[in-house]
Amino acid sequence: MRILIDECIDERFRNALTGHDSQTARYAGLAGLKNGDLLKAAEAAKFDVFLTVDQGIEYQQNLTGRKIAIIIFRTKSNRLHDLLQLVPACLARIESIRAGQIVSIEATGL
């Protein structure tokens, strides 16, 4: 899978996504784009999944007909330490997620 990591997620998180082609928005040349434009550009660049901590994206974006899926991380912060605990669940979701889906992964103890 090709995975795009939102700017609000620590760039080092990509190292935990072994077995996948993961890039940060900055590295992919998509930094600074807002959600709708970012998703369009990500689809054009053939990304399959977009990872974010933006809790509002599921209410702001309609993914009907989209070629990309979104995984939203729900943690107490976007610090690498907090995000790394979600890696096993993230990798499992990446295997089953389909284009146009939005799923959330929540840290335990929130």
Can you give the pLDDT at residue 56?
A: 87
Structural domain contains residue 72: yes
Structural domain contains residue 86: yes
Can you give the pLDDT at residue 61?
A: 82
Number of helices followed by number of strands (H, E) in the chain: 4, 5
* pLDDT single digits (tens) 3-15: 999 999 999 999 9
HSE of 109, CA atoms in CB hemisphere, 13 A: 5
Question: Which domain covers residue 72, as residue numbers?
Answer: 2-105
Structural domain contains residue 110: no
* pLDDT single digits (tens) 62-80: 888 899 999 999 999 999 9
User: In the chain, helix, strand, coil percent, each to 5?
Assistant: 30, 20, 45
The predicted model scores a pTM of 0.94
